[in-house]
Amino acid sequence: MQDKIDKILKTYLCQIEKAESSNEILNLRVKIFGKSGEFTELLKGLKDVDAGLRPQFGKILNDAKVSLENKLNAKEDMFKKFELNLKLNNEKIDITLPGKKPNVGSLHPLMLVKNEVVNIFTALGFTVVDGPEIELDYYNFQALNMPKDHPARDMQDSFYINENIVLRSQTSPMQIRAMETMGVPLRILCPGRVYRSDDDATHSPMFHQIEGLVVDKNITMRDLKGVLDEFAKKLFDSDTKTRLRPSYFPFTEPSVEVDLSCAICKGKGCRLCKGTGWMEILGAGMVNRRVLKNCKIDPDVYSGFAFGMGIERIAMIKYGIPDMRMLFENDKRFLEQFK
């Protein structure tokens, strides 16, 4: 057994000395002292040695074990220090290099326009209200004077979940809910996402609207014109003019389309305004008497005006964006222009 111990000790001390990495040391440790290692087997065989000789061989085995462990630990420490120094040298920071500027996000152009419009109207005394995007048929159509046979209720134009639930096609339902819960007088602004079955360069199945509503005593079309004049001048510049053209909406009577003098050519005619000098930007009108009655408001005592505009439409005009789909593509090259 003495010869076997000496042979193992000599062999492994030599292999430890020749090891060239911490991995080799780990493998040798397992080979010597692992569950089935050679030195482990010697320790197991100690029980078969004569009882009188057992203490002597036990001491020899222990000394050999200590010698091997010390050699393994010393070699392992050496490799650890070497590998650490190598890592530090390879990963050191050159403090003379310029720092890396972190990428900073910015607001989406739609959010920029929305915030600007909201700020203009809140300065005029409007309160911002919110409501559900999945809406009851009653609030989205019926209460707004759009009966069952109205074209806007066609399955091809609106997204129906079932017969009585629809993805709202405008933010007008929030106006009905506000009149029911807040009462009059009322001056509110309703921004939000809306959904219609349409998709091309100037339309999207999902887009954003901002609608406004004022209900009080003695409200006239002149009040509507004055508010929209102030809005146009704040949104573009003080020289911007507004023009009202007769139109039709079921929830307003009379109804108008509102044009603004072109922000680019100042009314002279250009590609943006198609040579007319005017840009169609929103629809508006006096609140229909039937809508007021649906909200239990006496139309002989109160009157009001409402208006609505697409945020995408304003963003396209304000920033000269030719295709609405660019606003939804999340192209960084496009979005970084608005930082």
The answer to whether residue 95 is domain-embedded is no
Q: What does pTM read for this prediction?
A: 0.67
pLDDT tens-digit series, residues 73-98:
888 888 888 888 888 788 777 778 78
116 and 82 in one domain? no
**Rounded CA separation 149/156 (Å):** 14
128 and 73 in one domain? no
The answer to whether residue 119 is domain-embedded is yes
> Residues in the chain, how many?
339
pLDDT tens-digit series, residues 5-15:
777 777 778 88
The answer to whether residue 99 is domain-embedded is no
CATH number at residue 189: 3.30.930.10
The answer to whether the beta carbons of residues 213 and 175 sit under 8 Å apart is yes
pLDDT tens-digit series, residues 123-170:
999 999 999 999 999 999 999 998 887 776 664 478 889 888 999 999
What pLDDT does residue 59 have? 78
What is the residue range of 7's domain?
A: 2-90
Q: In angstroms, how far is CA 130 from the centroid of its own chain? A: 19
Domain boundary among 90, 117, 133: 90
200 and 86 in one domain? no
What pLDDT does residue 202 have? 63
How many domains does the chain contain in total? 2
What pLDDT does residue 308 have? 95
Q: Is 282's pLDDT higher than 80?
A: yes
173 and 78 in one domain? no
pLDDT tens-digit series, residues 13-72:
888 888 888 888 888 878 777 777 777 777 777 666 676 766 776 777 777 778 878 888
Structure tokens at 325: 């789909």
The answer to whether the beta carbons of residues 312 and 207 sit under 8 Å apart is yes
**pLDDT band at residue 218 using 50, 70 and 90 as cut-offs:** very high
Task: Give mean pLDDT, residues 255-270.
Answer: 84
**Rounded CA separation 15/70 (Å):** 14
What pLDDT does residue 201 have? 61
- Tell me which of 166-170, 263-267, 294-298 is least confident: 263-267
| Range ranked top by mean pLDDT from 60-64, 160-164, 200-204, 229-233 | 229-233
If you write DSSP's letter for every residue of 41-82 in order, what string do you get?
Answer: HHHHHGGGS-TTTHHHHHHHHHHHHHHHHHHHHHHHHHHHHH
247 and 167 in one domain? yes
